[in-house]
Every structure is written in structure tokens, then in C-alpha cells.
Chains A and B, each alone.
Chain A
Amino acid sequence: MSMTAESQGLNQGTNKGASPAAAAATFSPELQIANMLGLCEAQMESALQDSDKAVDALVQAFTCLVDTSRSVKSLTEQLPAEYRESVSAGLNQQVEAITKQMASAVIAFQFYDKLTQRLGHVRYSLSTLSLFVCDRTQTANPDQWRRLMNTLRRLYRTEEERQIFQSMMDGMADEPTVKVAALKEETVAGAQVGEIELF
């Protein structure tokens, strides 16, 4: 779901063309918050689009490297016998080293995919909150806040997201950034290897 403050007509509070009186008449803290959340979402979307392009270029470059290294390997195997002994061993060693680096790159690239997914959830959360804060009947009702939290919790797919959500819910006012940083240390270490389970 993509939502901007503009698409909801939420810019009235900061309308560039509006007179000061009209702006004051439409001002409300909720609209300002919705505008700020819309701004955060727009910034995130723009940054993601830029990084998508950069990662696409990296993947293309990586594809070329993979193909080249495979060609080198194949050429080595076709070398005439008189060269094979002197050249082959050295080349094979180099190709093996490249192959190992490529395996690390394949893992690293997948973290970008995970990051995109997680930021997508953050964007959705911002949009949902932006709509929510504009409705006073909802914001005044603790049950509605709980429902909102449950909606956001159900978005999360990765263990890291769930842990951070739980950590924040367990002690929101208790130095959240310190908690998340500590949690990040644990989850990054744990996330290096994806689990495999055969049924």
C-alpha cells in the first residue's frame, strides 16, 4: 500500500499557496503528524528507488564476473597437455579463490533483498499510522491502538523484525535505541546462516 499525505489532501495545514488565515483554520496537530509521516515515507521510497538502481547495476556487474570466471575455468580445462601442468594448477587456485568470494557475495546480496522487504514494512507502518492519527475516534480508544499494533505485528516476516517489535513493546520508554542496538548485535550474528529444515 502506498499512501502519501498529498494523496489524502493532508497538505492543507502547510499549503504553500494558502493565506495565513486559511492555513490557521485548517491547522491541526494530527494533520501535521500525518504530513511528517508522509514525508518520512516519501524519503524512504526515494532512497529505495535509488538503491534499487545501484544494486541492479551491481548484480549486472557480478553476473559478468561470474560468467568470466566460469569461462576462465573452462578454458583452463581445454589447455593443451604441455601447458596444463605449468599453468593449470595456478589458474585453478585463482578460480577457486574467486568462487569462494562469489559465495560470500551471493549471501551479501540477499541481505539487500531482506532490507527492501523490511523497509517495505516500515513504509506500510508509516502509512497506516498516518491514516490512524487523523481519526480522533480511533486515537482516543486504547483498543484501537492495540488493534493497530496487532496489524503491524502481523506484517513482520523475519525473526529480527519480530524481536525488535517485541523488545520495543516490552519497554518502549526504556532507552529503545540502546535495546535495539544490543538486539541488532545478536540478530546480525544469528542471521548469517539461514536455517534449513527438511520435512
Chain B
Amino acid sequence: MSGVILAVDDSASMRQMVRFTLEGAGYKVIQANDGVEALELARTSGADLVLTDVNMPRMDGLTLVRELRALDTYKYVPMLVLTTESGQDTKMRGKQAGATGWIVKPFNPEQLLATIARVLQ
């Protein structure tokens, strides 16, 4: 597998878990601590997919998705939300913001990789 994935989470251990999983499958992973950092990183380095948490300081994941979708370069880039939030309302807000899919934590590494491969096709 190849491609650059922007992983956004305010938990360092979560970012590590995502990194192990994705790098093990051959992806390059760039990481951000919150939405503000992610937006900056997304503008300066291109990402083929964005994987973001929802509840983060400074800028939450749904705002990040909305902001990225407003950029020409990220209009069609897959954006997956990885969160503990499982409520239908929040999911719907994610869909309206422009998210490609919703993954509830804890993720299963194999399933996460299969989902990423599918949306990157």
C-alpha cells in the first residue's frame, strides 16, 4: 500500500496505535494533535486520506473536515472519523460536514486497513 495519511488525535497513545497500524501496511503517516495543527499540516503537505478524532482542543474533528472540504485540494480526499462517539446525531453531523465514513473506537487494525484501502480505491 502507498499513500500519505494525516492522522489527527489529541491522545498521543492513539496516534501511536494508528501509526503502527498504517505504517505496517506501507502507508506514510503524518500526525497532528488537533484540528488547527492538522489544517496547517494539510495545507503544507498533501495527504491522500485524513483520519481524525472528533473531540479535540482548539478545533474539533468535524470543523476540520468542513474546513478541509472548503479547500480545492481536499474536495475529493477521503476523510474518515475515528472516535468514541457513536450517537446517530453526531454521525449525521459528520456526514453533513463531508466525512467519508465513521469508525467507532476501538478500531480493529485489520478492519481499519480494509476500510482505508476501500475508500482510497
Contacts and interface: CB of A to CB of B under 8 A. Distances in A.
B40 to A, nearest CB: 24
Nearest 6 Cβ contacts at the A-B interface: A110-B106, A194-B104, A198-B101, A103-B109, A195-B104, A199-B95
Main SS of chain A's interface residues? Answer: helix
Given A158-B84, A196-B115, A109 B101 contact: no
B48 interface: no
Interface string A86-115: 000000000000010011001101111110
A191 B101 contact: no
A111 B106 contact: yes
B110 interface: yes
A196 B94 CA distance: 13
Given A66-B24, A102-B20, A199-B101, 13 more contacts: A70-B24, A106-B21, A110-B14, A110-B106, A114-B105, A158-B84, A193-B111, A194-B103, A194-B105, A195-B86, A196-B103, A196-B104, A197-B91
B16 interface: yes
Contact of A113 (B14, B95, B111): B14
B112 to A, nearest CB: 8
B55 to A, nearest CB: 7
B107 A110 contact: yes
Contacts, number: 95
28 contacts: A55-B13, A59-B12, A59-B13, A63-B20, A66-B24, A107-B109, A109-B13, A109-B16, A110-B14, A111-B106, A113-B11, A113-B14, A114-B84, A114-B105, A114-B106, A157-B83, A157-B85, A158-B84, A159-B86, A193-B108, A193-B111, A194-B103, A194-B106, A195-B103, A196-B101, A197-B102, A198-B101, A199-B95
